[in-house]
């Protein structure tokens, strides 16, 4: 088959698998494969479907293999890379007049290559891009500017570094002149009002130019941009500048359809200008401060001329946000302090922005899950909501000392809205919704998704407002109250939960539980969200609610949640609402062992859900919470009843087997962690069911899936801890070491997991076997990696492993064994390895790693013949030990390894640590961290006593204490004083 035929075959379900296999083989074996693929994309004689498939496959190969080392893929030939970097931009430009879909794929590929190679390995990219900018062909300009923006935009979120500024400075030096030229030409064309062809394309180019202006000034302002501030922002008593001109600009030809929800290009231009103004106000205020009044007037006019059309939301919200930032800065407080100004803000911004819009009510009814997600994200992240932006402006005004007049003003509108509602509750329910939102805006002064509102306006009585106006909506069922008002009542608790006492929260919990049975999707979901957040609350370091507080409600909550989840029917519908499963997870974590009497029912429901969603895993967060729930249930029930683990195995082995047999990739890392958790719970003989699984776990195919590796390491570690002797007898330890050598130690991504396995190996395998069989193989692999691809992570892990092995209280395994194993690889190598690689890592040790390292280093200094005989090496190691122990002593008990702490902090949206494409750790399944030096209760005492003993017994140690710059410890040891 020809390449086009193979690509077409990849689009058909019946031939897709074979075609994809063939493409994968060709991509790594056929010379110039990607070049051929790019030529096919450009070949207009080919079928468009084949060209599209070629473009998508081309981009995906670039994504996986351009940075092959980072992704552990087969690298692209360097000569082909050079060819592609010459051909990509011309290909993208050629496609700009043929197909937007094809051009977009190739443009994405340019961005992917640039992310890795620009500017160091692709210095000619900017020259290529700039050479295609045109004064006439704006379709090509848009193509070039989109690509430039895709390369520059990531700089906005990057941490400041020398490497980042090298890239920015290089770009500015080579791009700013053509950028200014194109900006001037495009702006002049648009602002002149000329009737030009393709006006919308010219406006699109202008919108991209605004974005690039923001890209290039976001981290710091380049000199030429600083010199041209007046050109863009205007000058007092002079030209008003491009930005104000564009804020006032209105092109009748570009107004479009008012019913269309997508913003027009002029709106996009104005929105970006307002983002630029926000940046300059916050970061370059000395350049912008004098122009703030002019921009406030322009923004005021912009808001006044806007409509309530959905397409204007982002622009108006950004305009209001600009006013909020201006107010919050406090420099121009006089612009807002006048009573008349506040009234104007209320009439032009607060009152029009607060009522629910018709499209929001429609979304509440027709797309409830999206309504919830948007509502939650706006409460913490902002966004394009006028309502949220107006609330932020109210809060900004209160924060600069205008709390009294603003509170009085808003309370008047709240009172009027409540009166309007009272006159006809069924018709005027939106007025009450507006009143509640206004109250929330004026009462909330600071908030986080973690805690809800954290600071409030002292002039507002939140509890009184709740009891008089909100609480009754929690108690009403059926059509007597609009469901949005019920959601408002639930969200009020969610928002102000930390302003309520535990007793008040406990009294509303049963009402929230009742709302889990509501027929309204948003209502029962918000009830679940609020219950979960209440159970997550802390009182000091401890959870505010424990199992005794919810024992009467636990079964009711879980039954209601599982009924809701399983009511979805199809895998996609069952898994669509992660908030329900997150609530179930939190209830299980809070209930702990109190679930022991009834856990089989909970487990059966979780397994039923798992069986359904495994047919088509579609929601990663739902998957995470499902497995976390199973893991937490097993953790706490088995602590209350150790024999229950056999029941868990009986119920879970079936679904686990199906997941493994069907190779459900999304679930396999979770399954390995659940298996490890069950395996670690066994204290007696290992069941045969586990032993039969071990052979499969040690096959290369299982380790080839990158996302499996951390969970596989956890599971193999559990096998080694429970059954190392049998594994050694059956040759499986050799297989594990071979995996460490071939797949883990050489890998920049997975080397730390290799060292995790090696830690377990050194504490479970007899020292003689380690010395004679395993250490030579392991150390050869380690030294090869050190010579070819040393990284900070690798050297840290290696140093920790050496000290870990030396610290273990195992006869025959100590510093002399470890150092001897290194010396047998090459005589004299230890001195350089320790001095140049291992010792420099000691000051970098993380708090929880310091104790094992301190013990291992102490034993090395006091037991190793080689170290005691080498004063120049012994002395810096002694100084490092003294400094390390002082740090380890400072490690408070609060920082100690608490196996329960991670469970009370499972909060994936907040930490963005829930589902990850490569691997998702189950917090509830994590065992207590193994402490190799648990036998040492007082580290400082142990280290000092050991040093005193060796100094008294060994003249070499006493001689080594003669440091060029004595330390408190060396002086005390030399004089026999206490220290």
| Reported confidence tier of residue 378, pLDDT bands at 50, 70, 90 | low
Statement: residue 634 has pLDDT above 50: yes
Angle between helices 688-697 and 709-729 (to 10 degrees): 110
* Greater model confidence, 706 or 266: 266
- Cβ-count burial 394-425 (b if 16+ within 10 Å, e if not): bbbbbbbebbebbbebbbebbeebbebbeeee
| pLDDT score of 895 | 45
Tokens in use for 109?
Answer: 């590929």
Average the pLDDT over 549-558 and give the result.
96
**What span, in angstroms and rounded, lies between the C-alpha atoms of 493 and 502?**
12
Burial class (CB in 10 A: 0-12, 13-18, 19+), 340: exposed
| Reported confidence tier of residue 193, pLDDT bands at 50, 70, 90 | confident
| pLDDT score of 903 | 55
883: nearest Cα among 852, 926, 854: 854
Transcribe 572-583 into DSSP letters.
HHHTS-HHHHHH
Average the pLDDT over 128-150 and give the result.
93
Burial class (CB in 10 A: 0-12, 13-18, 19+), 541: exposed
- Which range, of 107-116, 169-178, 335-344, 423-432, averages the lowest pLDDT? 335-344
**Cα 228 to the chain's mean position, in Å?**
38
In the block, which residue shows the tokens 């060796």?
A: 950
Distances (CA, A) of 51 to 38, 63, 140, 434, 790: 9, 18, 21, 53, 42
Statement: residue 959 has pLDDT above 80: yes
| pLDDT score of 909 | 40
**What span, in angstroms and rounded, lies between the C-alpha atoms of 186 and 137?**
11
Helices within 808-864 (DSSP H only) = 815-825, 829-833, 850-863
List phi, psi (to 5°) of 894.
-60, -30
**What span, in angstroms and rounded, lies between the C-alpha atoms of 288 and 241?**
12
**What span, in angstroms and rounded, lies between the C-alpha atoms of 302 and 762?**
70
Statement: residue 583 has pLDDT above 70: yes
**What span, in angstroms and rounded, lies between the C-alpha atoms of 760 and 758?**
5
| pLDDT score of 917 | 43
Average the pLDDT over 955-961 and give the result.
95
| pLDDT score of 904 | 56
| Percentage of residues of the chain with pLDDT beyond 90 | 85
In the block, which residue shows the tokens 């919200």?
A: 317
Span 816-875, pLDDT tens digits = 999 999 999 999 999 999 999 999 999 999 999 999 999 999 999 999 999 999 999 999
Question: Phi/psi zone of residue 451: left (φ > 0), alpha (ψ -120 to 50 degrees), beta?
Answer: alpha
**What span, in angstroms and rounded, lies between the C-alpha atoms of 388 and 393?**
9
Tokens in use for 908?
Answer: 């994936």
Question: Phi/psi zone of residue 731: left (φ > 0), alpha (ψ -120 to 50 degrees), beta?
Answer: left
Inter-residue contact 230 to 242 (CB < 8 Å): no
Average the pLDDT over 541-568 and give the result.
96
Average the pLDDT over 459-472 and give the result.
94
| pLDDT score of 890 | 63
Average the pLDDT over 385-404 and give the result.
93
The mean predicted confidence, pLDDT, of the chain is 92
| pLDDT score of 892 | 42
Tokens in use for 791?
Answer: 């990284």
Inter-residue contact 588 to 632 (CB < 8 Å): yes
Tokens in use for 441?
Answer: 């805006």
Span 23-82, pLDDT tens digits = 999 999 999 999 999 999 999 999 999 999 999 999 999 999 999 777 778 889 999 999
Span 219-269, pLDDT tens digits = 999 999 999 999 999 998 888 999 999 999 999 999 999 889 999 999 999
Tokens in use for 897?
Answer: 């390894």
| Reported confidence tier of residue 906, pLDDT bands at 50, 70, 90 | low
Burial class (CB in 10 A: 0-12, 13-18, 19+), 935: exposed
Tokens in use for 44?
Answer: 């207009």
Element (H, E) at 344: helix 339-345
DSSP state of 666: T
* DSSP bridge partners of 455: 446
* Greater model confidence, 463 or 918: 463
3-state DSSP of 585-618: HHHHHHHHHHHHHHHHHHHHHHHHHHHHHCCCCC
Span 94-107, pLDDT tens digits = 998 888 899 999 99
Statement: residue 382 has pLDDT above 50: no
Contacts of 857 (CB under 8 A, 6+ apart): 803, 806, 842, 877, 880, 881, 884
**What span, in angstroms and rounded, lies between the C-alpha atoms of 391 and 411?**
14
Helices within 74-228 (DSSP H only) = 78-95, 100-117, 125-131, 138-152, 162-191, 199-217, 223-227
* Greater model confidence, 69 or 672: 672
List phi, psi (to 5°) of 543.
-60, 140
Helices within 681-774 (DSSP H only) = 688-697, 700-704, 709-729, 732-739, 751-764, 767-769
| Reported confidence tier of residue 919, pLDDT bands at 50, 70, 90 | low
Find the length of the chain: 979
Span 414-456, pLDDT tens digits = 999 999 999 999 999 999 999 999 999 999 988 776 778 889 9
| pLDDT score of 705 | 85
**What span, in angstroms and rounded, lies between the C-alpha atoms of 883 and 888?**
9
Helix (H, G, I), strand (E, B) or coil at 448: strand
3-state DSSP of 504-544: HHHHHHHHHHHHCCCCCHHHHHHHHHHHHHHHHCEECCEEC
**What span, in angstroms and rounded, lies between the C-alpha atoms of 33 and 16?**
19
**What span, in angstroms and rounded, lies between the C-alpha atoms of 864 and 858?**
10
**Cα 834 to the chain's mean position, in Å?**
36
Statement: residue 129 has pLDDT above 50: yes
Transcribe 320-370 into DSSP letters.
HHHHHHHHHH-TTGGGT-SHHHHHHHIIIIIHHHSSPPHHHHHHHHH-HHH
| pLDDT score of 450 | 73
Average the pLDDT over 110-137 and give the result.
93
**Cα 810 to the chain's mean position, in Å?**
41
Span 480-506, pLDDT tens digits = 899 999 999 999 999 999 999 999 999
Tokens in use for 162?
Answer: 């020398």
R_g over Cα of the chain: 33
Angle between helices 554-566 and 599-613 (to 10 degrees): 20
Statement: residue 813 has pLDDT above 50: yes
Distances (CA, A) of 513 to 722, 783, 960: 43, 60, 70
| pLDDT score of 402 | 94
């Amino acid at each position: 088959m020809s390449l086009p035929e193979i690509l077409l075959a990849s689009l058909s379900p019946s031939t897709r698998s074979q075609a994809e296999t063939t493409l994968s083989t060709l991509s790594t074996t056929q010379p110039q494969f990607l070049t051929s693929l790019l030529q096919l994309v450009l070949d207009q004689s080919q079928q468009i479907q084949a060209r599209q498939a070629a473009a998508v496959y081309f981009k995906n190969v670039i994504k996986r293999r351009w940075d092959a080392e980072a992704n552990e893929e087969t690298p692209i030939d360097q000569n082909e890379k050079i060819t592609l970097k010459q051909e990509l931009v011309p290909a993208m430009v050629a496609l700009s007049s043929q197909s937007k879909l094809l051009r977009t794929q190739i443009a994405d590929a340019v961005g992917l290559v640039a992310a890795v190679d620009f500017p160091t390995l692709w210095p000619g990219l900017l020259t290529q891009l700039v050479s295609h900018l045109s004064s006439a062909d704006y379709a090509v300009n848009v193509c070039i500017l989109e690509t430039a923006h895709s390369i520059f935009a990531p700089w906005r979120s990057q941490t400041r570094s020398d490497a980042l500024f090298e890239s920015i400075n290089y770009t500015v030096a080579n791009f700013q002149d053509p950028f200014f030229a194109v900006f001037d030409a495009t702006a002049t064309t648009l602002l002149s009002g000329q009737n030009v062809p393709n006006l919308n394309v010219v406006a699109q180019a202008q919108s991209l130019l605004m974005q690039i202006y923001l890209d290039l000034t976001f981290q710091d302002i380049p000199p030429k941009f600083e010199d041209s501030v007046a050109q863009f922002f205007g000058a007092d008593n002079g030209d008003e500048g491009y930005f104000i001109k564009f804020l006032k600009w209105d092109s009748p030809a570009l107004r479009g359809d008012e019913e269309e929800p997508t913003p027009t290009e002029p709106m996009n231009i104005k929105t970006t200008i307002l983002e630029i103004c926000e940046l300059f106000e916050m970061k370059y205020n000395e350049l912008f401060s004098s122009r703030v009044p002019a921009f406030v007037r322009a923004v005021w006019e912009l808001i006044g001329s806007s409509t309530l059309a959905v397409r204007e939301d982002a622009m108006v919200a950004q305009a209001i946000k600009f006013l909020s930032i201006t107010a919050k800065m406090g420099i121009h407080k006089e612009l807002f302090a006048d009573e008349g100004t506040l009234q104007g803000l209320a009439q032009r911004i607060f009152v029009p922005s607060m009522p629910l819009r018709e499209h929001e009510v429609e979304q509440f009814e027709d797309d409830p899950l999206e309504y919830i997600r948007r509502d939650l994200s706006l409460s913490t992240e902002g966004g394009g909501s006028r309502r949220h932006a107006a609330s932020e402006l109210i809060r900004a005004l209160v924060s600069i000392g205008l709390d009294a007049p603003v509170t009085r003003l808003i309370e008047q509108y709240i009172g009027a809205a409540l009166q309007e509602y009272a006159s006809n509750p069924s018709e005027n329910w939106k007025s009450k919704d507006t009143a509640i939102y206004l109250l929330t805006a004026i009462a909330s002064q600071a908030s986080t998704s973690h805690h809800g509102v954290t600071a409030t306006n002292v002039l507002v009585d939140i509890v009184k407002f709740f009891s008089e106006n909100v609480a009754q909506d929690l108690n009403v069922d059926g059509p007597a109250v609009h469901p949005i008002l019920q959601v408002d009542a639930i969200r009020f608790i969610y928002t102000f939960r930390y302003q309520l006492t535990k007793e008040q929260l406990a009294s509303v919990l049963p009402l929230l539980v009742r709302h889990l049975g509501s027929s309204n999707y948003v209502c029962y979901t918000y009830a679940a969200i609020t219950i979960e957040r209440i159970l997550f609350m802390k009182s000091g370091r401890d959870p505010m609610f424990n199992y005794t507080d919810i024992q009467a409600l636990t079964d009711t909550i879980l039954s209601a949640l599982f009924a809701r989840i399983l009511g979805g029917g199809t895998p996609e519908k069952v898994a669509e609402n992660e908030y329900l499963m997150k609530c179930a997870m939190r209830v299980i974590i809070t209930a702990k062992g109190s679930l022991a009497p009834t856990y089989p029912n909970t487990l059966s429901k979780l397994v039923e859900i798992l069986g359904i969603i495994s047919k088509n895993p579609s929601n990663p967060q739902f998957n995470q919470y499902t497995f976390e729930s199973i893991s937490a249930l097993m953790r706490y029930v088995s602590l209350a009843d150790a024999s229950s683990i056999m029941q868990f195995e009986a119920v879970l082995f079936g679904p686990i087997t199906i997941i493994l047999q069907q190779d459900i990739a999304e679930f396999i890392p979770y399954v390995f962690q659940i298996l490890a958790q069950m395996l670690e719970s066994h204290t007696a003989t290992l069941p045969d069911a586990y032993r039969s699984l071990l052979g499969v776990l040690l096959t290369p195919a299982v380790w080839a899936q990158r996302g499996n590796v951390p969970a596989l390491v956890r599971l193999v570690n559990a096998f080694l801890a429970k059954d190392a002797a049998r594994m050694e007898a059956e040759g499986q330890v050799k297989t594990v070491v071979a995996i460490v050598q071939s797949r883990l130690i050489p890998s920049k991504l997975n080397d730390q997991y290799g060292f995790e396995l090696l830690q377990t190996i050194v504490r479970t395998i007899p020292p003689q076997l380690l010395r004679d069989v395993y250490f030579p193989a392991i150390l050869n692999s380690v030294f090869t990696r050190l010579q070819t691809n040393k990284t900070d992570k690798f050297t840290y892990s290696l140093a920790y492993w050496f000290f870990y092995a030396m610290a273990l209280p195992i006869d025959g395994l100590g510093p002399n064994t470890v150092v001897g194993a290194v010396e047998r690889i090459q005589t004299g190598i230890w001195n350089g390895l320790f001095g140049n690689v291992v010792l420099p890592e000691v000051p970098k040790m993380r708090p929880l790693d310091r104790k094992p390292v301190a013990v291992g280093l102490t034993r090395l200094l006091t037991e190793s013949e080689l170290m005691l005989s080498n004063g120049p090496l012994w002395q810096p190691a002694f100084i490092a030990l003294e400094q390390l122990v002082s740090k380890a002593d400072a490690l408070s008990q609060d920082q100690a390894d608490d196996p329960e702490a991670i469970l009370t902090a499972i909060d994936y949206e907040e930490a963005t640590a829930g589902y990850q494409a490569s691997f998702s750790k189950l917090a509830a399944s994590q065992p207590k961290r193994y402490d190799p030096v648990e036998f040492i209760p007082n580290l400082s005492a142990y280290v000092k006593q050991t040093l005193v003993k060796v100094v008294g017994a060994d003249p070499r140690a006493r001689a080594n204490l003669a440091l060029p710059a004595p330390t408190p410890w060396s002086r005390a040891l030399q004089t026999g004083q206490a220290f």
